[in-house]
Structure 1
Amino acid sequence: MDAFAGYLASLVGSWEALAAPHADASVVRGEGFVAARFPSHPVLCNAILLDPAALPSIAGGYGAGASYAVWSADDATAAALAGAGWRRDETTVPMRCDLRGLRPDPGAGDVTVDADPGVVAGITGVDEALVRGVPGLRAFASAGRESCAVLIPVGTDVNVSFVATVPGARRRGLARSVLRRALREAAEGGFATASLQSTPMAEPLYAAEGFVPVGAWQEWLPRS
């Protein structure tokens, strides 16, 4: 399995874990696409277009008026979306880290391991129900509850998400400390790799901790 395929398996597995506690949520693996449907949590309504011919199937699955984004990772799917009238939104960076080569960390700061998921909700502003009851989810937070991260296991990989710091506590290294502690816990737990999706702004933070880009996502929204 190449690096992007491993990342993609981790991403989709994390969506499935997040959907598990919610009766109205689902992740559909279709021919040429994967679609996450979270009617109660539209922030997670995203679809991956793997084959341009699958675009009508994605649109039909969400229904008219639904709020969702479609992601492309290559020129052919991007061209299909542009040709269908979709508009470009943000670009994100899929990244992976080999935990087997993780450098020893002599001091990752004062970090709470297995924090209550409600702390993550408070820092990120997401609905607390979204992060409760998720199979295998582990939450990490700085001691003062200013910064957080979540790990979701997917096979031998951990998917890293909900990495955030409250505005008043940024530029103090808190996210780095939380991330380092979370990765150390994953490595000590026997996981081989970690995967995440970064904004361009956060990419240097993750690169400094051993993550490398394995592709590029272009997110698309329907024309309004």
Structure 2
Amino acid sequence: MVLRERTHGGETDADLYARGTATLLAAWEEYARGARDAAVQRLPGVAAAVFPHGPERGVYNNAVLVGGLLRPERAAALDAMEEAYAAAGITRFAAWVHEDDVAMRADLEHRGYTLDETTRAMGLTLDELRVPRPALDVAAPDWAEYLRVIEVPVDLLADADHAAFHVVVARLGTESVAAAMAYDHRDDCGIYNVGTLSHARRRGLGTAVTALLLHEARDRGRRTASLQATPMAERLYATLGFRDLGRILEYVPER
């Protein structure tokens, strides 16, 4: 893939993208440790998160394809990905590819995959964090309340080690209305699942919980932060200083 070689805080865009991908895969591995028969299979040219059961099956069956492979390597990576999911009885999964990897995109489309969703990879060097630490009314970092606020199944990752994650739940009055989670991998902090209940939106709470997680990550000694932004949230993260690292295209197989 081709990323601009801008350097800020000693990190190029390519550095930040690689860090973010490594953190994402490490987070998926942590999820897998708390889900039945789940695993992240690191195969030649692809890392496939395989979650055969429970609510996790509908959320985490994603594969990250390595960029810049030669044609035989691309074919082998796609074969390995498909075999991993077929062996687990999984027919619905998403193959993630960076938008710059035109050859892999063409190979996926040739196999009948269609583009389903896109997110934008974004990264930040934490010594460049300029937004002030927000004064938030935060609740105790309760896992069940976090799941309720981000509106996912109440038994998601029920058996995971919740202490491995850094959860922030923000209140409006007496109600918990916004939440997000962070996961540290080496020097990077991944920010995931930022959500605000519909009646509490447009108050800056999503920005505030993200900013708080960034400050806490810097306090823990992390050097960078990473995330995958939905189109709706890209501007929010840009205001916090996150750099655009290109779109991630999510391809799904024919049903």
Q: Which band: TM-score by shorter chain?
A: over 0.9
Kept after mapping to 2: 8 A contact 1:99/1:192? yes
Kept after mapping to 1: 8 A contact 2:187/2:224? yes
Q: Which has the larger Rg?
A: 2
Residue of structure 2 in register with 1:3 after alignment? 16
Measure, in 2, the Cα distance between the counterparts of 1:15 and 1:184: 23
Kept after mapping to 1: 8 A contact 2:178/2:206? yes
Residue of structure 1 in register with 2:231 after alignment? 200
Partner amino acid, structure 2, of 1:45: N
Measure, in 2, the Cα distance between the counterparts of 1:164 and 1:104: 20
How far the C-alpha of 1:130 sits from its partner, in A, is 1.6
Question: How many percent identity over aligned positions?
Answer: 35
The match for 2:190 among 149, 159, 172 is 159
Unaligned runs of 5+ in 1: none
The match for 1:136 among 164, 178, 192 is 164
Residue of structure 1 in register with 2:147 after alignment? 121
Partner amino acid, structure 2, of 1:62: Y
Measure, in 2, the Cα distance between the counterparts of 1:167 and 1:96: 27
Residue of structure 2 in register with 1:169 after alignment? 200
How far the C-alpha of 1:181 sits from its partner, in A, is 1.1
Unaligned runs of 5+ in 2: 1-13
Kept after mapping to 1: 8 A contact 2:134/2:211? no
Residue of structure 2 in register with 1:81 after alignment? 108
How far the C-alpha of 1:200 sits from its partner, in A, is 1.4
Report Cα offsets for 1:182-203 as digits up to 9, x if no partner.
1111111111111100011100
How far the C-alpha of 1:223 sits from its partner, in A, is 1.2
Residue of structure 2 in register with 1:66 after alignment? 91
How far the C-alpha of 1:23 sits from its partner, in A, is 3.6
Measure, in 2, the Cα distance between the counterparts of 1:88 and 1:36: 19
Measure, in 1, the Cα distance between the counterparts of 2:117 and 2:156: 26
How far the C-alpha of 1:106 sits from its partner, in A, is 5.1
Measure, in 2, the Cα distance between the counterparts of 1:104 and 1:86: 41
Report Cα offsets for 1:92-112 as digits up to 9, x if no partner.
101111112212515332234
* Comparing 127-136 and 165-174, the one that deviates more: 127-136
SS of residue matched to 1:90: strand
Report Cα offsets for 1:53-95 as digits up to 9, x if no partner.
2111101110155221111111111111001111111111011
The match for 1:92 among 119, 123, 139 is 119
Kept after mapping to 2: 8 A contact 1:17/1:135? no
SS of residue matched to 2:225: strand
Kept after mapping to 2: 8 A contact 1:111/1:141? yes
Partner amino acid, structure 1, of 2:20: Y
Q: Structure 2 matches for 1:176-191, cutoff 5 A?
A: 176-191=207-222
SS of residue matched to 2:189: strand
Kept after mapping to 1: 8 A contact 2:131/2:211? no
Residue of structure 2 in register with 1:57 after alignment? 80
Structure 1 stretches of 4+ moved >4 Å: none
- Residue 33 of structure 2 corresponds to residue 20 of structure 1: yes
Report Cα offsets for 1:193-218 as digits up to 9, x if no partner.
11100011100000111111112211
Compared with structure 1, are the counterparts of its residues 151 and 182 closer, same or farther at alpha carbon in structure 2 (3 Å cutoff)? same
Residue of structure 1 in register with 2:63 after alignment? 47
How far the C-alpha of 1:165 sits from its partner, in A, is 0.8
Partner amino acid, structure 1, of 2:48: A
The RMSD of aligned alpha carbons is 1.7
Kept after mapping to 2: 8 A contact 1:20/1:135? no
Kept after mapping to 2: 8 A contact 1:111/1:177? no
Measure, in 2, the Cα distance between the counterparts of 1:68 and 1:211: 28
